[in-house]
Structure 1
């Protein structure tokens, strides 16, 4: 999502859900800003300007609204075209701090205008190189002091003669991001209320034709028993579906909270404008086929009239809460009310999911099809699911996330409260294209699916079938306390298949203890096996089977049970499923059933029953993964105050000034960027002549390497750009000349003791945003293909998992052996790269390979950095999607 408040306007939500426009102040705003100041009460003028005079000098507004320069910037907030707030900063040339001024019109106090302006100004100042904002505030100006205190930024205060000197370091740490996220969530929920809990709605697009999208929506609304007021708009019909119709939105008897639009694409902008003029709160646009210009016009209209927009090209929405009973889709059947919030882009997938969830007894609490996702996104709907008391599970099917870094933070928070299942379509082609840039390699496409979803606490699925299978287990069964599975079957061969499937899902099928085996043997027919899988033989009777399941459920050796029965005339499955499992999950496999998964009665809980052993094991594996994630510490995002962010940013921007299209930094610049973030590199010197290369040998001492550099060069040795173990001047001189003939940059670097070669890097993945990668390094890194990846920002827990997930690390010394690897040092490099990715969005790709890791530290021996002009300079800024 592009967010650039330094180049144009953006829109954001206030605490009450209304939409405010924020843009840079212009010279022509001076008169309006002066009127804002003049309209302040005498008391508020005293608090703002320290004097209660009847007038504010005009030059105050003129100074704020002058053109921006390196020492000055200002932003204004507009509601319904009126400037209701202004915030600006002034700094001495080159100073690290800037003084902030802030004023908000009195009639909008308490709606969050000041806090929002502060956030946007802080983002603008941060990108301009300002390290901290300062202000002088009267001690009794409690409202302004509260704005600063609640911002989430580190706050330093000093009281002097009734004036509080405030300093706000512009540190974008986890505390600040959490504060911004909480404010965004609260405002988003307020704005979504009229979309998902409307007290009145209108449908534009119903007809007298028997079959039409609009008529289907009207029929579903009426038959679903919607509790609010329904209005219809049709320019040529007096009534539609037996309800009086109004000729236009202007004729509606009241401003509707929600308007469902199902008209031809070319008519959508005019309908939207009419709805906005009537005061509608939200639009759900089902119409498809809007041209790019019409899409832009539609979003502009919604912003101008402060309407949230679902779609266009969406399937509709539903809220089956008994107090709402809204079903505004054109599905053939009304879904069963229940506890799953379904979020999808595909109408067909949405219908399928709702039908399966209804069939499995899970039901739907809220449904929304985001369609082309011009405004309302999966992030908005996940936040709604979190706050909705009737939702116990979120089921998400999307092609991409509008703001993946926000998605990561939202998902981590929500997943602590309820399961989130996600299927990402279109993974393969996009993932492969993104992976070709090299740092991520082909492995990135695979890593970004399951591993990155799991990092955020999301259960990743690959198909609709797997989605509903996992949902059935998470909705109807408790989570397993551990990975140990008891497999019970009346055919030995089937038990082996289940055991194999469990191990593939990181579940264990342990050999049962002697006492438990003796107990089971006493309950089962002769000839069975009680080791695990438990083979009951086809002669098992119903009561014997029930006793077997009860004994396993009571045993501390077992965390879950999978019951596989091939039908016989001797045993009935149903009574067995009703056995008390003591809070342990039980799943069944019934190979004869036609559905992939059903839910059979099982005492107080339904028992998910699968047609194949592999599907049962996969669904239980998802439940075990959720158990592990919930037990995982949340972690904190490390902040490294020693990072020279300003120097690194200038290094990058200096390159972009001469190469606006971006590209690979020279080797020396890439090494300097790494060093700015406290990443140790082997000592080096750039050489511009053979004699400078020899002088570098004298300075560095010992043996050196001579490296040639060219944009995008991955393996120097293969390209003839690397000479190693040189210690004589004539060797260095010859190596320099050989490299300088072919490569524009030559670096002389001290040889380092080679320990374990690892590789760390950053890559911007189009679906998930920036990732930190880790794996084995050196010349064989690509062939070995041992890598892990995590979404940024990395917590300390993420960094630890990133490193330890590569099993070769443990095998090569992390857990013992002749030499040990300093794993914490590698984790710190990963965390520093994560901060770099956040601070410098222009860094599209970074590769440290190799990073030599010994018993006492990690040392980067090479670096590659690719930069580009990135529009999403502040992915955490509170803003709605742009035009």
Structure 2
């Protein structure tokens, strides 16, 4: 073990049954416990571990794990309540048995061993430890594990086989040698993800399906939050056992009360804490010692020390926690009826899951979904989100068997990349909707480079939502409007909408709203025109919109909508209706034309717009069951249909894959980065030579260039670089220079030695004391100037940006962004999303640029950002795209000293 390993902080993670464990490096002080771990093993388990029931081997194993720090060795322990229950270790070996996986250097191979306490097998202790060792080994350049086991040791062999990594076995008599390749495959991530999902759901059961609940801090007088939550639980007919904790009362609201948690007649699964901030840590500690398994903390106003003490108590006793500073939680399952909130009304049971950070937003969504009749399956107000997060709730809804619609309002993301993987999986099973909160530039960080200036948090969140298939709305109202449509109607196959109305003006408003939302209104075919005219009253105008006139009857409108539904050129129908005296006189109810159909009989979505409607959105009951959404404004209906169309398109597209790249030298790239940071411990912008070398490691095409320190060197370099037309470009350089054109540090179109000398003297004179040299390049041919870059966001990870380049890149702000690593679909989206995309595909007769080369450039940039967490920014501007190729004309890269982080490693916040 190296010293930095020994000082790394412990992390907490979940076993298969939801039990919380601490994973940390072994320490010298662990010797007695580790020796005891082996001493308490049965002779049979000792034999399987050491190939003989040897107490001497056990002692040596404890000595090794707790010995002096040494390179190439690492030992991790798992502990519960300060008791070590497992040990996993690896040490670099001189084994050469991994050649079949491309590993021929012994220093890249390590031998692994695992020990788990008797009585704790089959709970995932060993697997969790190995996952953490895999993450650590990859960070240290180890590419394969080897392990020797007895062929009868089925448990450890199954552990290796089920990891999700490529594993080979070689039998030698009673022994078997396992070789495990530590490649970063999606198969492994999926296996880790599935283990994490099962463990997470198990850990949330005491929180969201508790058999016993205690409200700590329920007051005797009306007005306290604790008393309000106790009332909601009691009045909501919670089916489990319910207690209050108040030293001054024997009963509150008819609920038995006890002086302390330890005095309760039964241990609660869930304790609701509504006590002053100063008392929270002690109360949580008391709960943990009593065996409470989950906390709901509604108290607010904690300072940093109180926050740390509260979370420490939860981790020490293995308790999951919602809050602090939250509205509460709810589970409307009729078998439970848990309403531990202080909302004014009980939520209506239903199928929508809600997770919010803002209590006010939570109340609005609870009321809105209840009013619509969609109802709520479970609700969590996450508050300050110390522990349980939106990611946890997504996994709960995925598994609860009751939720078919997920609504989120998250103001922060603890682990966006893990959240994205979870959301991508869950979104294929149910719609996941969110409010994109905080979209203004107020939170935009100061930036120096083009890349950092373009990378707003709005763009970053947008990339996360788009790639994960999450439907992002701009307000709670829009969220409810979209939820109403997705809950009640099938998804459209595309974005083609037919507008039908009984009033021409309403039809025009609806048509405008659809066009503004990105929907299309195709003209009907002659056959459809004839079909509709045959059923509509005289004077009807059959275009798109279809003006059925005020004389249309319920029967005629029904026939019109049904015929459009059967037409293959339309994906959805929007019907805009206004009340008329004609319909009133005949007793026709035009809305019935939309609600008469049985559920499932209409394969396309239909939405109504009623301009006289008082509520923004309603769900109208249909005959035989089901509902039809009705909106007060056409813009709301159009937005909802557009969101549904985008979701349908996302579902129809196969999941993307991250292409395998050749000609990538990751080891050399790491060496370049390490060397630079050794010489520049604070990081900085790379000099041109180092920058070019790093790009070369990833096969990123660069225009030929040369460095010159002096005027004579510049002339010689220009002679070597001149193309057929003899012209070159000279760019000044000094540390920290980013925008050369803005500083007038560029000379273009230089011909002959005289102009090269004059340009060098000009830069040398104007930037005396700054200039360290110049870069010379041949004058690039004409083409489309683009921009590509990366920003390494500390929360979201690497963000790849692409768009129009040149000197006006920030002014025009024509950029798109996606989070790395990029899939083949992400690259396609990046290229087609900017407004300049038509230029790349040959608009105005220019011919398409080298799109394959452009895709390769973006994929290689993504790979570089994913490989190198130290890469803070990369700025390629301009990137020249022509039909013949794609070339980076100017590149800037900034490095910072950062440790690699595994975003998919199983650990709690």
Q: Do 1:434 and 1:766's aligned partners in 2 also have CA atoms closer than 8 Å?
A: no
Once the two structures are superposed, residues 545-587 of structure 1 have per-residue CA deviations (whole angstroms, 9 ceiling, x without a partner) of 2222222222223221111111112222332122436222111
CA distance in 1, matches of 2:116, 2:884: 55
CA distance in 1, matches of 2:146, 2:404: 44
Once the two structures are superposed, residues 669-723 of structure 1 have per-residue CA deviations (whole angstroms, 9 ceiling, x without a partner) of 2232222223222344444555655665576674654433345533323323334
CA distance in 2, matches of 1:539, 1:833: 62
Identify the match of residue 283 of structure 1 among 295, 302, 320: 295
Q: Do 1:549 and 1:579's aligned partners in 2 also have CA atoms closer than 8 Å?
A: no
Report the counterpart of residue 481 of structure 1 in structure 2. Answer: 493
Task: Please identify, of 829-838 and 77-86, the stretch whose mean Cα deviation from structure 2 is larger.
Answer: 829-838
Q: Displacement, 1:291?
A: 0.9
SS at match of 2:119: helix
Q: Do 2:507 and 2:545's aligned partners in 1 also have CA atoms closer than 8 Å?
A: yes
Identify the match of residue 578 of structure 1 among 595, 605, 611: 595
Change in 2 beyond 3 A, CA 1:694/1:62: farther
Where does 1:588-667 land on structure 2 (aligned, <5 Å)? 588-603=608-623, 604-640=625-661, 642-667=663-688
Task: Please identify, of 430-439 and 73-82, the stretch whose mean Cα deviation from structure 2 is larger.
Answer: 430-439
CA distance in 2, matches of 1:380, 1:18: 15
SS at match of 1:806: coil
Task: State the TM-score, normalizing by the size of structure 2.
Answer: 0.91
Structure 1 position 560 matched with structure 2 position 572: yes
Task: Please identify, of 54-63 and 267-276, the stretch whose mean Cα deviation from structure 2 is larger.
Answer: 54-63
CA distance in 2, matches of 1:516, 1:89: 72
Unmatched 5+ residue regions in structure 2?
95-105, 584-588
CA distance in 2, matches of 1:688, 1:61: 60
Report the counterpart of residue 784 of structure 1 in structure 2. Answer: 812
CA distance in 2, matches of 1:60, 1:700: 63
CA distance in 2, matches of 1:170, 1:751: 46
Once the two structures are superposed, residues 368-420 of structure 1 have per-residue CA deviations (whole angstroms, 9 ceiling, x without a partner) of 01100011111111111111210000000010111111111111111000000
Structure 1 position 720 matched with structure 2 position 744: yes
Identify the match of residue 401 of structure 2 among 369, 389, 411: 389
SS at match of 1:583: coil
Change in 2 beyond 3 A, CA 1:57/1:48: closer
CA distance in 1, matches of 2:596, 2:38: 73
Structure 1 position 668 matched with structure 2 position 689: yes
Report the counterpart of residue 371 of structure 1 in structure 2. Answer: 383
CA distance in 1, matches of 2:167, 2:863: 21
Q: Displacement, 1:205?
A: 1.3
Q: Displacement, 1:467?
A: 0.6
Report the counterpart of residue 62 of structure 2 in structure 1. Answer: 61
SS at match of 2:800: strand
Q: Displacement, 1:342?
A: 0.4
SS at match of 2:57: coil
Q: Displacement, 1:517?
A: 1.5
CA distance in 1, matches of 2:455, 2:289: 51
Task: Please identify, of 778-787 and 226-235, the stretch whose mean Cα deviation from structure 2 is larger.
Answer: 778-787
SS at match of 2:582: coil
Q: Displacement, 1:8?
A: 1.4
Change in 2 beyond 3 A, CA 1:182/1:433: same
CA distance in 2, matches of 1:127, 1:198: 40
Q: Do 1:560 and 1:585's aligned partners in 2 also have CA atoms closer than 8 Å?
A: yes
Report the counterpart of residue 14 of structure 2 in structure 1. Answer: 13
Structure 1 position 757 matched with structure 2 position 761: no
Task: Please identify, of 114-123 and 329-338, the stretch whose mean Cα deviation from structure 2 is larger.
Answer: 114-123
**Alignment size in residue pairs:** 879
Report the counterpart of residue 505 of structure 1 in structure 2. Answer: 517
Structure 1 position 823 matched with structure 2 position 851: yes
Once the two structures are superposed, residues 723-768 of structure 1 have per-residue CA deviations (whole angstroms, 9 ceiling, x without a partner) of 4456766765665666574334644445554533222111234664
Q: Do 1:339 and 1:364's aligned partners in 2 also have CA atoms closer than 8 Å?
A: yes
Task: Please identify, of 652-661 and 259-268, the stretch whose mean Cα deviation from structure 2 is larger.
Answer: 652-661
Task: State the TM-score, normalizing by the size of structure 1.
Answer: 0.94
Q: Do 2:539 and 2:549's aligned partners in 1 also have CA atoms closer than 8 Å?
A: yes
Where does 1:381-420 land on structure 2 (aligned, <5 Å)? 381-420=393-432
Once the two structures are superposed, residues 420-478 of structure 1 have per-residue CA deviations (whole angstroms, 9 ceiling, x without a partner) of 00113223245533677531534745533545412211110110100100000001111
Change in 2 beyond 3 A, CA 1:801/1:271: same
Structure 1 position 709 matched with structure 2 position 729: no
Report the counterpart of residue 607 of structure 2 in structure 1. Answer: 587
CA distance in 2, matches of 1:434, 1:143: 54
Q: Displacement, 1:163?
A: 4.2
Q: Do 2:840 and 2:851's aligned partners in 1 also have CA atoms closer than 8 Å?
A: no
CA RMSD, 1 decimal: 2.6
Report the counterpart of residue 855 of structure 1 in structure 2. Answer: 883
Unmatched 5+ residue regions in structure 1?
none
Change in 2 beyond 3 A, CA 1:871/1:217: farther
Q: Do 1:4 and 1:872's aligned partners in 2 also have CA atoms closer than 8 Å?
A: no
Q: Do 1:309 and 1:375's aligned partners in 2 also have CA atoms closer than 8 Å?
A: yes
CA distance in 2, matches of 1:700, 1:816: 33
Change in 2 beyond 3 A, CA 1:751/1:45: farther
Report the counterpart of residue 843 of structure 1 in structure 2. Answer: 871
CA distance in 2, matches of 1:638, 1:176: 17
Q: Displacement, 1:537?
A: 1.5
Greater relative CO (CA pairs within 8 A, separation 6+): 1
CA distance in 2, matches of 1:166, 1:560: 57
Change in 2 beyond 3 A, CA 1:678/1:431: farther
Q: Displacement, 1:214?
A: 1.0
Identify the match of residue 237 of structure 2 among 225, 233, 237: 225
Identify the match of residue 793 of structure 1 among 803, 821, 824: 821
Once the two structures are superposed, residues 499-549 of structure 1 have per-residue CA deviations (whole angstroms, 9 ceiling, x without a partner) of 111112221111111122122223222222111101112222222222222
Q: Displacement, 1:830?
A: 1.9
SS at match of 2:881: strand
Report the counterpart of residue 224 of structure 2 in structure 1. Answer: 212
Q: Displacement, 1:832?
A: 2.4
Once the two structures are superposed, residues 149-187 of structure 1 have per-residue CA deviations (whole angstroms, 9 ceiling, x without a partner) of 222233344445554443333322322222221111111
Task: Please identify, of 390-399 and 678-687, the stretch whose mean Cα deviation from structure 2 is larger.
Answer: 678-687
Change in 2 beyond 3 A, CA 1:409/1:815: farther
Task: Please identify, of 821-830 and 506-515, the stretch whose mean Cα deviation from structure 2 is larger.
Answer: 821-830
CA distance in 2, matches of 1:499, 1:766: 43
CA distance in 2, matches of 1:385, 1:852: 47
CA distance in 2, matches of 1:816, 1:878: 52
Structure 1 position 142 matched with structure 2 position 154: yes
Q: Do 1:686 and 1:746's aligned partners in 2 also have CA atoms closer than 8 Å?
A: yes
Report the counterpart of residue 41 of structure 2 in structure 1. Answer: 40
CA distance in 1, matches of 2:332, 2:823: 38
Once the two structures are superposed, residues 282-304 of structure 1 have per-residue CA deviations (whole angstroms, 9 ceiling, x without a partner) of 00000010111001000000000
Change in 2 beyond 3 A, CA 1:49/1:756: farther
Q: Do 2:615 and 2:632's aligned partners in 1 also have CA atoms closer than 8 Å?
A: yes
Q: Do 1:173 and 1:639's aligned partners in 2 also have CA atoms closer than 8 Å?
A: no
CA distance in 2, matches of 1:88, 1:699: 56
Change in 2 beyond 3 A, CA 1:57/1:340: closer
